[in-house]
Each structure stands twice: as C-alpha cells, then as structure tokens.
Amino acid sequence: MAGNDIGTVQFSEVANGVLIEAEVHDLDAGFRGITLHERGLCEIQSSSESGVVGDFESSGGHLVGSMEEDMGLVDGEEAPQEEDPENDLDDLNEAVPPTEPEAVTHPDHAGDLPNLLVNQDRTGWLSLISDRLETEDLLGDQGSSVIIHAQPDNHGNVPERYFGPDAETLTSGDSGSRVACGVVEEQ
C-alpha cells in the first residue's frame, strides 16, 4: 500500500499502560495481523537484517517493549487442562496433581497486538490498552512502526495435535506478508 493512506493509529499514555487505537479503511475484509516493529522505517522492497527482501522488511522484527521480567506465560494464555475420557466416577476420589502449563513463546513480543477485523465495508477499528509498552518503547533511538499483515496472526497458538508451532509460527504468527506500514511519530 505504498503511499496510500489507509488509516491512523494513535497512542496515548493512560494510568495502566498505553492506549492503542487503530482505524483503517480500503482494506479487504477479514482478520489481519497488526504488529508494532522495532524500527521507524517503512521502505518498499527493503531487506531485513537476516536478508529477507520484501515490503517494509526494513522495519525489523516485533517490538519487544518493557517486559523483561514477563518472558513466560501471559495471564489468560495458560494451556487448557486436558480431560481423560477413560476416567470414571471412582477416579474423582483420587488426588491428581495439576499439569503444569507449557510456556507460550510467541507473546514475548510486546509488539504483538490482537488481530484487526476489517468489515465487509473495508473499514476496521481496534482499541486496546497494553501494559507491556511505554511511550519510550515507541519513540526510542530507532523509532518504531506499525505493520498490517495480509493474514490473521495465530500468536503461535498451534495445538500439538497439528505437530505444534514451527519456527515461522513462533516468530511471525503466520500472519503473512506485510501489506501496510506507518512510522510512529510524536505529535
């Protein structure tokens, strides 16, 4: 979407984090990954540090943010408890220790945001408060950027029955190519 205005994203400091409000138009309907990236660059057909060439690759990877002590499970993302269909009523009397949930690795990026839903009229709106970001994260030495992806982000949530998440899922959430980019600027 080089040079085309497709919307705005606004950031505001609030008591418990950063309020992020995105409003978009002229995008195809469906869920889209929307992420914050570590550099304030939006160059078409650019190269990432790892040599990947594509639109907006110069924006780098996902913004890590201010969450060094929070690199494991995020509240609400615990693995569901599995039920054993073999159990019968006699087993209810036995004490079974709870299973420790596996760590979720994809949410260690504060730049991962919930998916953006674009409606049939080609407009979308997203509003959230992140306690994993601070204004300094967005306006640091290299700045930051907002990327909208071609597909929804699965946030590394691939059940083991499907052979679990691979490296691509864990780093990008399988959200597809980068279709729109905007540099975060102080107003």
Residue 84 lies in a domain: no
Residue 115 lies in a domain: yes
pLDDT at position 187 is 78
Residue 64 lies in a domain: yes
Q: Are 153 and 35 in contact (CB under 8 A)?
A: yes
Residue 94 lies in a domain: no
Q: Are 127 and 8 in contact (CB under 8 A)?
A: no
Which of 102-106, 111-115, 140-144 has the least mean pLDDT?
A: 102-106
Give the Cβ contact number of residue 73 at 10 Å.
14
Who has greater pLDDT, 11 or 77? 11
Residue 96 lies in a domain: no
Residue 124 lies in a domain: yes
pLDDT at position 11 is 95
Q: Are 23 and 34 in contact (CB under 8 A)?
A: no
Q: What is the CATH number of the domain that holds 38?
A: 2.60.40.200
Q: What is the pLDDT of residues 22-63, one digit of tens each?
A: 999 999 999 999 999 999 999 998 888 878 888 999 998 888
pLDDT at position 56 is 93
Q: How far apart are CA 41 and CA 44, in angstroms?
A: 10
Most confident of 47-51, 114-118, 136-140: 114-118
Q: What is the DSSP pairing of strand 17-25 with strand 123-130? A: antiparallel
pLDDT at position 162 is 64
Q: Are 16 and 131 in contact (CB under 8 A)?
A: yes
User: Of 126, 109, 133, 125, which is closest to residue 18 (Cα–Cα)?
Assistant: 133
Give the Cβ contact number of residue 27 at 10 Å.
20
Q: Are 140 and 133 in contact (CB under 8 A)?
A: no
Which residue segment(s) compose the domain that 132 sits in?
12-74+102-183
Q: What distance separates the 2 farthest-apart alpha carbons in the chain?
A: 67
User: Of 148, 129, 156, 163, which is closest to residue 14 (Cα–Cα)?
Assistant: 129
- How many folded domains does the chain comprise? 1
Structure tokens, 69: 């002590």
Residue 38 lies in a domain: yes
Residue 3 lies in a domain: no
